[in-house]
Amino acid sequence: QLQLVESGGGLVQPGGSLRLSCAASGFTLDTYVIAWFRQAPGKEREGLLCISTSGRSRNYADSVKGRFTISRDNAKNTVYLQMNSLNAEDTAVYYCAAAARSRSSMWCGGEGYEYNYWGQGTQVTVSS
């Protein structure tokens, strides 16, 4: 059974940092594109960053440029979202999602419909 499990969320003060993890079970991530999305209360789901199987990353959200980065460690079957300089507008449930691609693919997308597998989400709350 293919599963994605996010972890690392929690309560952080404004200006702080968190690193979210997206761990895969039941499949190996080296042939899957991974993206991070978030959804704040009352708002639509927002695509943030993605990383291709070849390691190319793309940022789809201007609001997190220069603050969030995505990386993957295929040996650990995990993708990370490093979040720095957090502010209250970053409060949301964060999801990772996966889509199958070849190992050399450079593609990664920022739309939810492009992904087949989703984690259950992890809450990030930025508050003093």
Chain segment 73-93, per-residue pLDDT in tens? 999 999 999 999 999 999 999
Looking at per-residue confidence, does 26 or 92 come out higher?
A: 92
Cβ–Cβ contacts within 10 Å for residue 50, how many?
27
Which two tokens mark 125? 């709350």
Cβ–Cβ contacts within 10 Å for residue 57, how many?
15
CB 19 within 8 A of CB 31: no
CB 53 within 8 A of CB 33: yes
Rounded average pLDDT over 110-117: 93
* 44: amino acid identity, one letter: E
31-54 pLDDT per residue, tens: 999 999 999 999 999 999 999 999
Please give the Cα distance from 74 to 115 (Å, whole number). 19
